[in-house]
Structure 1
Amino acid sequence: MEAFLHGMLLAFGLILPLGVQNVFVFTQGATQQRLMLALPAAITAALCDTLLILLAVFGLSVIVLQFEWLRIALMCVGIVFLLYIGYSIWRSTATTSEKSEAMPVKKQIVFALSVSLLNPHAILDTIGVIGTSALKYNGTEQILFTAACVLISWLWFFGLTLAGASFKKLDSSGKQMNILNKCSAIFIWATAIYLLSGLL
């Protein structure tokens, strides 16, 4: 039980801060006409997190932490990607019109895959924190620890989708969503600059 609680608290601590993944899932909940249409983003993000957690627990963390060049390569790719995502979000506009352009399922999935698997912050957090923490456990305890991390991830992304859908009802004009988009873009650019400063 200790391992399960440890996994829950650790996963919640890592996933709680505002990040590219969270912003994207929340935005889909807020911009899609129906809640069901926003689920592909949440499910894809949760599946990617599950994959990263499993890889981290079962050894990838050891590989990445041993090779400095691999860590730097991940960071460089991720920084360029974050700059592009920030630009895309900054340029986007939100409306509540029935004719507003909602992101189709295929594009949601591709975008969710990219913000999940090309985000160096998420990858390094998962590998460096969850992967190393899992080394404390063996057998059943390690399985419980991993299950707790995965459970929190799924609950969080579905919760973000619901929160986005609720926000849409409160923001009938779409103005608040546009302000949120600008703030999100600035945050994402700041994250990229922070990662770049770490490399330099």
Structure 2
Amino acid sequence: MLTTWLQGLLMGASLIMVLGAQNAFVLTQGLRGRHRMSLALTSALCDALLIMIGVAGMGALFAGSPALLAWAAWAGAAFLATYGARSLYSALRPATAGALVAADTESGVIKLILTTLAFSLLNPHVYLDTVVLLGSLGSQHGDTGRWWFGAGAATASFIWFFSLSYGAKLLLPLFQKPSSWRILDCLNGLVMWGIAATLIQKALAL
């Protein structure tokens, strides 16, 4: 079973360690010191839940429902386009480095968790990676093995999001100037608009 768990861990890591809207959001909030624990835990739990739904056999439902995938694509595109615009707008606003990296531990946690949930759940790619792909791969390991495979993939999500959120502190010396934050906001905005465009293309094709 350890071998099956390791296979799930490696497959989950290969899927999650790519540049995307969810990772960009967690990284940005980690740099700003905003509720690192809550956001990392929310992201990891969402992934774990979707992975377990997939290995339980629900992957076929999502894969065989173009209407469901189309709805998720349009909702995700609208959210990412809006948040991308906000990121690009933030890049144009002057701000001091101190204000940008100040920790926000007293307020805003609910809003940030809800935004994290949106990044986690309003993206069809998440369902394709976790529910459909990992669910299908997990089902190949039998009734017991699929749960070990899913547990390995879920472990990869926990390791990744906590490393991303807390490891962001190591990058703080690079973000002592407002210009660095403007570059990051621009990159975030372009990534989100790019993903939104691909989602629209997929929705139109369904």
Indicate whether the TM-score tops 0.5. yes
Q: Which residue of 2 aligns with 1:30?
A: 31
**Which amino acid is 2:62 matched to?**
V
Structure 1: how far apart are the matches of 2:10 and 2:76? 26
The answer for unaligned runs of 5 or more in structure 1 is none
Q: Cα distance 1:38–1:17, how it changes in 2: closer, same or farther (>3 A)? A: same
Per-residue deviation, 1:73? 1.5
Q: How many corresponding residue pairs?
A: 197
Contact 2:31 2:169 in 1 (8 A): yes
| Other-structure match for 2:14 | 13
The secondary structure found in structure 1 opposite 2:177 is coil
1:198 aligns with 2:196: no
Deviations 1:52-101, CA, capped at 9 Å, x for gaps: 11111112211111222112111121111111121122223564325858
Aligned to 2:126: 122
Which residues of 2 match residues 45-56 of structure 1 at below 5 A? 45-56=43-54
Q: Distance in 2 between matches of 1:59 and 1:17?
A: 26
The answer for unaligned runs of 5 or more in structure 2 is none
Deviations 1:141-193 (CA, angstroms, capped at 9, x unpaired): 21210111111000000111123222123321232122011011101111111
Once the two structures are overlaid, the 10-residue window that deviates more, 101-110 or 120-129, is 101-110
Runs of 4+ in 1 over 6 A off after TM superposition: none
Matches within 5 A, 1:101-140: 102=104, 104-140=108-144
Distance 1:28 1:95, change over 3 A: farther
Letter in 2 for 1:192: A
Q: For residues 139 and 124 of structure 1, what CA distance do their matches in structure 2 show? A: 21
Secondary structure at 1:97 match in 2: helix
The alpha carbon displacement at 1:7 in A equals 0.7
- What is aligned with 2:69? 71
Q: Which amino acid in structure 2 is aligned with residue 146 of structure 1?
A: G
Matching residue of 1:147: 151
Q: Deviations over 1:79-134 (max 9, x none)?
A: 11111121122223564325858472112211111110112211222122111111
Does residue 187 of the first structure (1) align with residue 185 of the second (2)? no
Alpha-carbon RMSD: 2.0
Query: Please, what TM-score do these two structures have when normalized by structure 2?
Result: 0.87
